[in-house]
A and B are shown apart, each in its own frame.
Chain A
Amino acid sequence: MKDFLAELIEIPGGSGYEEQAAELIAKEFSRLCDQVHTDSFYNVYGIKRGSVSLESGERPKVMLAAHMDEIALMVKDIDEKGFLRFTSIGGVDQRILLAQEVTVHGREKLYGIVSTVPPHLQDAGEAQKVIKMKDMCIDVGLPPDRVKKLVRVGDLITFRSPLATMQGSMVNGKSIDDRASVVMLAEVMRELDRLQYAAEVYCVATVQEEVGTRGAVISTYKVQPDIGIAIDVTHGETPDAPKEDTYAMDKGIAICKGPNMHPGLTEKLIETAREYGIEYQISVAPGPTGTDARSMQISRSGVPTILLELPLRYMHTTVETLNLDHIKSGARLLALFIASLKEGWQEWLKY
């Protein structure tokens, strides 16, 4: 599991450019499920069909979604000295950019860094100011004529930050939002193999979540599920972050409540967790969430949707920190929940 996460987060996959990530995910999924399909936008669908047959003959079609895209940068202009101006894809915090190591995906892959003015050369008080992304540039260490041959406006730039193991079961790196959840999809498949279940399960690794849950819009339309389950990350607690918006790093996955989520199914999920003694927390979203659940719920005629969230520290940085145990326990919970969809499952969808 950790190896798959380590391999996956190193693959560049800024929103809209997920082809390579999709390839690796499809390869991993194909070992674990009955059928794998990749669509023209590189959403990857891993399909598993349970062996239990229901008397009514109507299997629940369950779609799980976790997004594979990551926040990234994009070349906006190249100046006369060969420095690259850039914009962001998804919500990049400009405060973390200075001196960051990046890969520029030009005609060749180029190592680059976000340039910064040394403290010695700063004016008094400059260190107190936030430097804006529009004033930053990237240095790839090449003369301007070479840069102009290798790099074009619109080239993708991704961060470099491989998986690092911390103490206990904590790891950090880039794009753990939301590739940890993609890894969890694979774990759900493994858990399902140990269980008897009736559902037809579509594990979908989605694209373009960071720019507006776009992959979820088209993939949910395609799958047309009876039940939607989104897996994403939420904020892990740190001393400086507001308590009411953060969750413990060692108390289990968070089950989200709010209008975006189906109350009956959410309750069933909580019951499942209690029944099997799986630790969980409750998170709250007062409106449409910033996750794939947002679009899944309102696809076609509407899809009863639930949301699970992995607590993650330092979201949208290159040191996103996660407790690996949460992937395991979350996957077990989801598989048990899916297996609990039996005769009369339609009753669960009623309000």
Chain B
Amino acid sequence: MKELLVRLTGIYGPSGREEAVRQAIRQEIEGFVDEITEDVMGNLIAVKKSSNPDAKKVMLAAHMDQIGLIVTNIDENGFLRFSNVGGVSPFNVLHRRVVFQNGVTGAVSYETELDDMKKLKLDKMYIDIGARSREEAGKHVQIGDAAVYHAPMAQSGDRYFGCAMDDRAGCAVLVETIRSVKESPNELIFVFTVQEEVGLRGAKTSAYTINPDIGISVDVTLTGDTPKSRPMAVNLGDGPAVKVKDASVICHPKVKDLMIQRAEEAGIPYQLEVLEYGGTDSGAIHLSREGVPSGVISIPCRYVHSAHEMVDRNDLENAVKLLTCILEKEIV
């Protein structure tokens, strides 16, 4: 798991530019599935067929994309102005190192004459790639290029932290689940989605194509276990979370109850998650066509959308176990 996570979190892939992530995941799952395709949006779709003639179609989704900064203007002194791709907080990106697709790195800073840090907004900020002029900057970066955090994964005991755990941790869990599931009475369609961070857009189109009976997405969720954090009954390391609701989806009670039942049967630790803000791919999947009963397995994660998103190894491993238990048996 660790090596996979190091590899996946180190790859460049802001929303809309997921090609390197897609390539890496394809390599990881080749030989473990019956069929791999890519669609026009860039979703990577891997199918594990079933010998059961009444197999239900189960769509599993984890998103490949990460948040990023997109260059909107290059000033005469070579500083890059930028906008956000997905949910970027000025405080999270301030004085971070960022990297472009071609490997060019820069530092994010702000107009220091700003009198009140509460007023810090992205339009008062810029990326400094060390260029001395617009011409010099233009040799390395074009308007429309996007940068992501440059923060290689680190480890402290069971805790891993780095950028893009949201949602490469989910991708890693799905990859390991693909390797772990033996025989299933269900047809399993694993979708590594694009553009989740800009509105669940890859999940929307892939769910339409697949037209599944059940949808399950795997994504990170917030925790309530850090000093004076917003209260939330999810702790890092207490097990994968079975989502009840977030702002994008109220998980289907039957899918949620099935997840709980499988966790309890197998003695896998789990938590129940009520997330008051934010959404995930199941938000799009469950409203596809005539409706797809959907649920979510969440990976508790501290500091989501920062350069140091922190997850716990045990939660990841238990998420793989739980998903495997769910998929190897009849679904609802």
Residues in chain A within 8 A of chain B (CB atoms): 15-17, 19, 39-41, 43, 74-78, 85, 87, 89, 134, 152-154, 208, 211, 214, 217-219, 221-222
Contact = CB atoms under 8 A, between A and B. Distances in A.
B245 A16 contact: yes
Interface string B250-270: 111100100000000000000
Given A76-B233, A89-B250, A153 B274 contact: yes
Interface string B142-169: 0000000000000000000000000000
Q: Which 8 A-B pairs have the closest CB atoms?
A: A16-B250, A154-B244, A218-B291, A153-B272, A77-B233, A222-B290, A154-B272, A41-B291
A39 B293 CA distance: 10
Contact of A87 (B224, B251, B276): B276
Interface string B297-316: 00000000000000000000
A85 B252 CA distance: 22
A77 B232 contact: yes
Contact of A221 (B224, B273, B286, B289): B289
Given A77-B224, A153-B272, 14 more contacts: A16-B245, A16-B251, A17-B253, A19-B253, A39-B291, A74-B245, A77-B233, A85-B231, A89-B245, A134-B231, A153-B273, A218-B290, A222-B289, A222-B290
Interface of B: 224, 231-233, 244-245, 250-253, 256, 271-274, 276, 286-287, 289-291, 293
Contact of A41 (B252, B274, B276): B252
Contacts of B286: 214
B56 to A, nearest CB: 12
Nearest to B289: A221
A15 B252 CA distance: 11
A217 B245 CA distance: 18
Q: Interface SS of chain A: helix, strand, loop or mixed?
A: mixed
A76 B250 CA distance: 14
Contacts, number: 68
A223 to B, nearest CB: 9
A75 B253 contact: no
B233 A153 contact: yes
A15 B249 CA distance: 10
Given A16-B250, A154-B245, A77 B231 contact: yes
Q: Interface SS of chain B: helix, strand, loop or mixed?
A: loop
A208 B289 CA distance: 16
A76 B274 contact: yes
Nearest to B256: A154
A211 B291 contact: no
Contacts of A19: 253
B274 A154 contact: yes
A16 B253 contact: yes
B253 A76 contact: no
Contacts of A221: 289-290
Contacts of B244: 74, 153-154
A30 to B, nearest CB: 21
B250 A208 contact: yes
B120 to A, nearest CB: 25
Contacts of A76: 231-233, 274, 276
Contact of A40 (B256, B273, B291): B291
A92 B287 CA distance: 24
A19 B257 CA distance: 14
A107 to B, nearest CB: 12
Given A40-B293, A153-B244, A74 B274 contact: yes
Contacts of A75: 274
A16 B252 CA distance: 7
Contact of B287 (A78, A85, A214): A214
Contact of A15 (B231, B250, B271): B250
Contacts of B271: 153
Nearest to A16: B250
A218 B291 CA distance: 5
30 contacts: A16-B245, A16-B252, A16-B253, A17-B250, A17-B253, A39-B290, A39-B291, A40-B252, A40-B293, A41-B293, A75-B274, A76-B232, A76-B274, A76-B276, A77-B232, A87-B276, A89-B245, A152-B272, A153-B244, A153-B271, A153-B272, A153-B274, A154-B244, A154-B245, A154-B272, A214-B286, A217-B291, A218-B290, A219-B291, A221-B289
Given A74-B274, A154-B244, A218 B232 contact: no
Nearest to B234: A153
Nearest to A86: B274
Contacts of A16: 245, 250-253
Contacts of A154: 244-245, 256, 272-274
A155 to B, nearest CB: 9
Contacts of B245: 16, 74, 89, 154
Nearest to A213: B287
Contacts of A85: 231
Contacts of B293: 40-41
A134 B231 CA distance: 9
Contacts of A74: 244-245, 274
Nearest to B250: A16
